[in-house]
Structure 1
Amino acid sequence: MLILIGVPFALWGIQNYLDTAKETPVAVVEGREIFDRDVHRAYEQSLANLPGLAQAEEQRLKRETLEKLIMDEVIAQRAEATSLAVSDADVRSFIQSLPYFQSDGKFDREKYKVLLSAQGVAPAQFAAQVRRALLMEQYQRGILDSAFATKSQTEALLRLKNQEREIEYVKIPLKTSRQNIPEEEIQSYYREHGQDFRNPERIAVDYLVISLEQLAKDVQVTDQDLQRLYEEQKASFRTEERRRISHILVPIESSGNEAEKVALAKIGQIRERLSKGEDFAMVAKESSGDPVSAKQGGDLGLLEKKNLEEGFAKAAFSLPLNTVSEPVRTSYGYHLIKVTEIVPEKIKPFDEVKDELRKTAQHNAAENRYYEIGQILAEQAYEHPDSLEPAAKRLGLSVEHTNLFTRDQGEGLAAEPKIREAAFSEDVLKGRNSEPVELENDRAVVLRMREYQPASDKSLAEVRDTIVATLRREDARREARAQAQTLLSQVREGRSLADAARGIGLGVVKPAPLRRDSTTAPPAVVTAAFKAPRPEPGKPSFATVDLDSGESVVLGLLAVKDGSPAPEGKEAELARDFLGRALGQQEFAAFAARLRERADVQIKPES
């Protein structure tokens, strides 16, 4: 749902739908326009988990982003053309459920207004976007949720999922190569793989940071304020009464009045023994139907009332100390209860929680100020895109600096992935201020480029040793593959794998029958085992596979045992749900592709 709406917009990422009429659209879908700013914003969000892309990959991602926006618009228009509807109550409920608009788990109308105002978005505009997204979601669910899997499809999936394969294999180790690598081969490899030997681009940035924690430290709070907050939150400082409870359980063995009577009679007999002075702990060890607590003389430990079944809790928390209850009926059976210790409820005194209250009061008081300053920071960074000084002067902040860092690694502030992403964004690389970047612990940062070093090629001298090691490793892998092919030829000619392996001083590994999620063999071996063709009786199916380590494996598939279809039960239910979702996604993808094909879409050639 958040993706559909264009959220997460975090602190300053809410979609800005204003002033688009002044721009030239990059695409028009059935008369509705998509602008470059929409594509750019969606593209930047897509880069969050894709750092370090090559230029060709970036261009491909931009094209895919534009196509995704076009597809969303096609679906939205189709949804709007139906008779589906989203009520005002649904829109309001969804907005109020978003964590960005909440304080202490509750909708904060003031925060809602501040955040929307910071983006220049009217509440009515935002509500319209939410309504549209909810309508799209409702429309899609009509197709996704209507898909289902048949019994035969489910059984086929379970047969494959639970299939077992019996294998044996020989692992050919990677030997250390001491081969002398000719100079021309080194140079040739360097020319062909030069892109692998590059110093990555690096950047250093200046930045301004605002922190809710720092703002909170500057807030002055009086003892009267803290005392008032203490009274308001007194319930959170209360420790509930706890009781050490022992019990004797007589379970009801089956349904029906007769079993009930038998259990009640038995608990009555035990109660009679206790009334005559027998020790509760000894009787519990001998007679209780709860084997865990019986070993402890019936002791359940210190418990709070809220953690017990209602009838049991009512009886236990009304008993005087060291008194045995009358039989108590619960869903487990009949109990005799004894309370051996009472720890009364306690409210932490004001002085004990004063520091905690101060932090809470300071945080609450600083929160609105944090959003106000955030709005000013965003405005100043936008209005003065070529400098951080106006924003620093307006807010009384100091411009700070980082050392050079790459897209993948940095120190200090640059250790934050969001900072590295923003630093290498198109705006910052063109010399403009970034949009505010919200970090964990309620921090927001605006940055700009201070120094940039483009990617550069490493000299052959710098990478010679690496190339030699790589070529020697490839030589060792070739030797391992050659040995594997020799073994494969021998076993296909009728020699047993064990006999062929002994010829080169190796042994055969024969793990327990494999399933698709088995970890008793290397993952590549498991994958190859389930790709290999079924063997004929008495004729194993052989194959070779290369491991990530460079070792080669000769694999023999001995037998295949299909799993049980298990048409009923939890596993079958999960399989049906999985297949239903997969089929629903396929159907919707095909349906959406057909809508896209039939839609009137015009795209600017340069886009």
Structure 2
Amino acid sequence: MLDAIRRRKRIAQIILLILIIPFAFFGVERYFSTGPSRNEVATVGDSAVTVAALRDALQRQSDRLRTQMGEAFDPKLVRSQAFVEEVLRQLLERQILLNEAQRLGLQVPQTVVQKTLAAIPVFQKDGRFDFATYEAALRAQGMTPARFEALVQEDLAIEKLLRSVRAAVVPPQNVLTLLRWQEEVRRVRWQRHSIDAVAASLPVDEQAVEAFFQQHQDRFQKPDEAALEYVVLDEKHLEVPPVPEEDVRKAFEARKAAIAQPEKRRIRHILITASNFDDGKTLPAEVTQLLAQLRGKDEVQFAEIAKNRSEDAATRAQGGDLGWVTKEELPPALAEAVFAAKTPGLLDPVRTDFGWHLVWLSAIQPAQTPTFDAVAPQIRAALQQEARKRRFTELAAELPNLAFDAVDRLDPVAEKVGAPIEKTPLMPLDALTLNDGTPLPAALVAQLRSENARRGENLDPVTLPDGRMVVVRVARFEPARPRTFAEAKADAIAAWRRDHAQSQLVASLAQQVETNASITKWDGEKRLQRNDTTLPRTVVEAAFALPRKPGVHNVVTSGDAVWLLELVAVETPVVTDNDARAKSLATQLHSLYGDVHYRAWLRTVEARYPIQIRQEALREFTAE
């Protein structure tokens, strides 16, 4: 019984502003046509993907990249053909899955959707679903509750379909073979020879060093350097007008009914099941006798009897306590009886699919509607945050044109966003950061090497990893150039010594192995597994690359040392079907097999829903 209630309370961890699953789709280029109508970008069988749907999806993906993938984000990215086609690809695959779910008659009741939404943490306040928070979160994404709930209902249906598609059988022998490979242990001993120690003892041959320098000049270049000026657009620091009291009250009135907490009741029960029930109306003798025993008892005595007589294993030890429940969390007949009671105490027996319930109503918590004063600060803060987000979005859209129009001046940008112009010292491009230590996104570092940057022009705005946007110009640029031998002499000597030391060590150790020279001194020995982290990764991989024959050797370079390895022993683990490790590995393989099965299934299902894409519809989203 308790398990059934817990299932009703289970959190479905989805918030799908756009469905994100491990897409295994195919390229969209072979589906281009002129088939769909002007307001459609594509058709999938008899269903359409509209231009508006693609526009919304692109906006949401763009926002997600801006806030979560700042280092990879560039304003030009979301206008690229590849980006637009990728988002369209996701919509097409989602539509295929939705079409198939509908064909199979997979439906999700509205009650399941509501429970799913109520369990999503981002929509909760103080651990409970809060409609004001819910509505504000959707509004910030440009969505209505009705539209979002329709998407969630579709996604839950798709989730049902995917669970069956991804079901896969993993042969037990495959699991055991892989587990033996993973758990194999090798006892290895080694000598570790420091390259730097040998290098320090090498005499310097200046002619050889200079020849080495001439052969490897690319290793001794002075890198590109730049000093930057920049302006940061930060949502947290944007000034917005105070929210009028009237707007706060309007928001409260609009959401008052939705934020009300439903009535709750705390109950205990004794469950009696039997193999031969009558029609469900006449009390069985066992229930009648137990009811007579309970009359006149208090809650403590009820709980003691429940511990001995209840057949609900999940609550028996707790005296039948089901805790606080809402009407929707109980079976209909039980809910009717519990919520019809006027006062706490023993209720009449109730028949459900679980059996007969003898119920004690412990307490009643009436439905509650928060007062305006109680929620006004949260509503005001949410409205102000929305205003700040809208302002950020507006300024983010203006930044590219603003930076372009100002050419090589940042003061118009700084004035518009209300932020100062900051300056960095001259540094190598790959080491440049903002003054607060924020590393420059790769897209920005790439721009810094352009001709526009060297002319001091404002560069395209980019998004930082924390969601802020920045407009940068190069105030001073020093291009990379080869250093002379005199400038690089000390570095050239160190590099020449190191290369020669490494070559000498590798040759010397390899000769020992080839001649089977007796090795009597080792620096260390241990039992290794493949996931060992105490030795360098290249050393561990080299140890497991050795033939499974004790006494074999390998020479490997790792970082600042050359290692001589000897395999001492191989330990093959003993594993069985009921090994806990095998069960865990089987779960992982099940997921991998499921992905493979899904990809194959998807290609088959695609034939059922022919795809046509109207290429000219994409031009709206890719035009500069």
TM-score (norm 1): 0.55
Match of 1:435 in 2: 460
Give, in whole Å, the separation in 1 of the partners of 2:516 and 2:353. 64
* Equivalent residue for 2:448, pick from 415, 424, 427: 424
What's the CA shift string for 1:3-25, capped at 9, x where partnerless?
xxxxx9xxxxxxxxxxxxxxxxx
Match of 2:10 in 1: none
Match of 2:566 in 1: 554
Match of 1:450 in 2: 475
Q: Do the aligned residues in 1 keep the contact of 2:228 with 2:475 (CA within 8 Å)? A: yes
What's the CA shift string for 1:125-150, capped at 9, x where partnerless?
99x98998689879999xxx9xx99x
Match of 1:182 in 2: 202
What's the CA shift string for 1:75-113, capped at 9, x where partnerless?
6256439999457842257336527269999xxxxxxxx
What's the CA shift string for 1:196-215, capped at 9, x where partnerless?
67665443332334444444
Give, in whole Å, the separation in 2 of the partners of 1:265 and 1:196. 93
| Displacement after TM superposition at 1:450 (Å) | 1.9
Match of 2:228 in 1: 205
Whether 1:403 aligns to 2:424 is yes
Closer, same or farther: CA 200–251 of 1 in aligned 2, 3 Å:
farther
Match of 2:320 in 1: 298
Closer, same or farther: CA 571–218 of 1 in aligned 2, 3 Å:
closer
Closer, same or farther: CA 235–81 of 1 in aligned 2, 3 Å:
closer
Whether 1:169 aligns to 2:193 is no
Give, in whole Å, the separation in 2 of the partners of 1:571 and 1:553. 33
Closer, same or farther: CA 368–510 of 1 in aligned 2, 3 Å:
closer
Closer, same or farther: CA 470–265 of 1 in aligned 2, 3 Å:
farther
Closer, same or farther: CA 136–370 of 1 in aligned 2, 3 Å:
closer
Match of 1:98 in 2: 57
Which residue type is aligned with residue 98 of structure 1?
A
Give, in whole Å, the separation in 1 of the partners of 2:278 and 2:550. 59
Give, in whole Å, the separation in 1 of the partners of 2:460 and 2:307. 68
| Displacement after TM superposition at 1:341 (Å) | 3.5
What's the CA shift string for 1:292-350, capped at 9, x where partnerless?
64443333444555666666555554445542445556676655443433443433332
Q: Do the aligned residues in 2 keep the contact of 1:163 with 1:560 (CA within 8 Å)? A: yes
| Displacement after TM superposition at 1:169 (Å) | 1.1
| Displacement after TM superposition at 1:232 (Å) | 1.6
Q: Do the aligned residues in 1 keep the contact of 2:546 with 2:554 (CA within 8 Å)? A: no
Alignment of 1:455-534 (within 5 A): 455=480, 485=513, 504=521, 509=526
Match of 2:438 in 1: 415
What's the CA shift string for 1:230-259, capped at 9, x where partnerless?
11232564444444443445578xxx7689
Give, in whole Å, the separation in 2 of the partners of 1:131 and 1:423. 25
- Unaligned stretches of 5+ residues in structure 1: 1-7, 9-70, 106-117, 491-499, 588-607
Give, in whole Å, the separation in 2 of the partners of 1:479 and 1:335. 84
Give, in whole Å, the separation in 2 of the partners of 1:184 and 1:259. 103
Closer, same or farther: CA 275–175 of 1 in aligned 2, 3 Å:
farther
Which residue type is aligned with residue 435 of structure 1?
D
Which residue type is aligned with residue 424 of structure 1?
L
Give, in whole Å, the separation in 2 of the partners of 1:577 and 1:182. 58
User: Which deviates more, 444-453 or 305-314?
Assistant: 305-314
Closer, same or farther: CA 161–329 of 1 in aligned 2, 3 Å:
farther
Give, in whole Å, the separation in 1 of the partners of 2:372 and 2:175. 61
Q: Do the aligned residues in 2 keep the contact of 1:488 with 1:554 (CA within 8 Å)? A: no
Which residue type is aligned with residue 399 of structure 2?
L
* Equivalent residue for 1:577, pick from 563, 580, 594: 594
Give, in whole Å, the separation in 1 of the partners of 2:288 and 2:499. 84
Look up the SS of the partner of 1:407 in the other structure: helix
| Displacement after TM superposition at 1:223 (Å) | 1.4
Give, in whole Å, the separation in 1 of the partners of 2:508 and 2:343. 77
Look up the SS of the partner of 1:348 in the other structure: coil
Q: Do the aligned residues in 1 keep the contact of 2:510 with 2:555 (CA within 8 Å)? A: no
Look up the SS of the partner of 2:477 in the other structure: strand
Which residue type is aligned with residue 230 of structure 2?
Y
Q: Do the aligned residues in 1 keep the contact of 2:456 with 2:476 (CA within 8 Å)? A: no
| Displacement after TM superposition at 1:449 (Å) | 1.5
Give, in whole Å, the separation in 1 of the partners of 2:407 and 2:537. 51
Give, in whole Å, the separation in 1 of the partners of 2:291 and 2:55. 55
* Equivalent residue for 1:361, pick from 365, 368, 383: 383
What's the CA shift string for 1:396-421, capped at 9, x where partnerless?
74551132464355244661543844
Which residue type is aligned with residue 400 of structure 1?
I
Q: Do the aligned residues in 1 keep the contact of 2:263 with 2:366 (CA within 8 Å)? A: yes
Identical amino acids, percent of aligned pairs: 22
* Equivalent residue for 1:385, pick from 407, 411, 417: 407
Give, in whole Å, the separation in 1 of the partners of 2:490 and 2:403. 42
Whether 1:280 aligns to 2:298 is no
Give, in whole Å, the separation in 2 of the partners of 1:526 and 1:251. 60
Alignment of 1:176-325 (within 5 A): 178-179=197-198, 180-184=200-204, 188=209, 191=213, 201-215=224-238, 217-235=239-257, 237-249=259-271, 270-275=290-295, 277=297, 279-289=301-311, 293-304=315-326, 315-320=337-342, 322-325=344-347
Closer, same or farther: CA 576–473 of 1 in aligned 2, 3 Å:
same
Closer, same or farther: CA 411–370 of 1 in aligned 2, 3 Å:
closer
Closer, same or farther: CA 133–312 of 1 in aligned 2, 3 Å:
same
Look up the SS of the partner of 2:458 in the other structure: coil
Closer, same or farther: CA 102–306 of 1 in aligned 2, 3 Å:
farther
What's the CA shift string for 1:441-467, capped at 9, x where partnerless?
764432222233445789668769986
Which residue type is aligned with residue 383 of structure 2?
A
What do you get for the CA RMSD once the two structures are aligned?
6.1
Give, in whole Å, the separation in 2 of the partners of 1:293 and 1:317. 21
Give, in whole Å, the separation in 2 of the partners of 1:247 and 1:322. 13
Closer, same or farther: CA 267–449 of 1 in aligned 2, 3 Å:
farther
Give, in whole Å, the separation in 2 of the partners of 1:103 and 1:230. 31
Match of 2:29 in 1: 76
What's the CA shift string for 1:33-78, capped at 9, x where partnerless?
xxxxxxxxxxxxxxxxxxxxxxxxxxxxxxxxxxxxxx97xx6256
Give, in whole Å, the separation in 2 of the partners of 1:298 and 1:487. 79
Which residue type is aligned with residue 348 of structure 1?
P
Which residue type is aligned with residue 474 of structure 2?
M
Which residue type is aligned with residue 203 of structure 1?
A
Q: Do the aligned residues in 1 keep the contact of 2:191 with 2:524 (CA within 8 Å)? A: no
Look up the SS of the partner of 2:50 in the other structure: helix
Closer, same or farther: CA 273–463 of 1 in aligned 2, 3 Å:
farther
TM-score (norm 2): 0.54
Closer, same or farther: CA 340–153 of 1 in aligned 2, 3 Å:
closer
Match of 2:5 in 1: none
Match of 2:122 in 1: none
Closer, same or farther: CA 208–284 of 1 in aligned 2, 3 Å:
same
Which residue type is aligned with residue 402 of structure 1?
K
Look up the SS of the partner of 1:207 in the other structure: strand
Q: Do the aligned residues in 2 keep the contact of 1:79 with 1:139 (CA within 8 Å)? A: no
Closer, same or farther: CA 573–134 of 1 in aligned 2, 3 Å:
closer
Give, in whole Å, the separation in 2 of the partners of 1:425 and 1:301. 65
Structure with the bigger RCO (C-alpha within 8 Å, sep 6+) is 2
Closer, same or farther: CA 464–571 of 1 in aligned 2, 3 Å:
closer
Match of 2:9 in 1: none
Count of residue pairs the alignment pairs up: 468
Give, in whole Å, the separation in 2 of the partners of 1:310 and 1:466. 82
Match of 2:370 in 1: 348
